[in-house]
Amino acid sequence: MLVTLASAAAALLASPRCPDAAPPDAATDETFMRIAIEEARQADFPYGAVIVRDGGILARGRNRSRQLDDPTAHGEMDAIRHALAQHGSKALRGATLYTSGEPRATCMGAILWCHFDRLVYAASIDQVVTRTSQMMVHSADVAAKTPFAPISITGGVLADEAKALFAK
């Protein structure tokens, strides 16, 4: 099931910062989510991410917490760090972050501070909580408390494929 959530300040599909942007379509979201899920397959924990702007991939990332002995090396953070190193922070404004699992509070904070226009995730926190330790704070809850960084949030894109990774 596809669930669309938006913070009150970003209820439109097109970003307030990009009013002429075409609304996202399901096929595009699935294409990029498949790439995020592929990153998750290679991760220490099944979180993979891809950052997209203007139809092109800026960066990919995967959870490398065990490999790096770094509890902040989540898939979203890995992708953000790669994008910042290669393109700088301005490139992230208006971009979309796709991730195999709903970001937890730490990653969601970073996503908001980077001023992404959209977040698209596959499996929700509720769907993966039995497999992983989770802070039970949903990304929409964090976004709702962050009026300076409006973001559109879409959840459930290829959720069954992502949930299968968490079941292993």
Per residue in 138-159, pLDDT tens? 999 999 999 999 999 999 999 9
Name the catalytic one among 38, 39, 76, 161. 76
Which pLDDT value is given to residue 67?
A: 95
106, 53 contact by CB (below 8 A)? no
Sign of CA dihedral 137, 39, 72, 29: negative
76 counts as catalytic:
yes
What average pLDDT does range 74-97 have in this prediction? 97
Judged by DSSP in three states, 143 sits in: helix
2 closest CA partner among 23, 30, 40: 30
Digit-coded pLDDT (tens) for 104-129 = 999 999 999 999 999 999 999 998 87
CA atoms within 13 A on the CB side of 59: 21
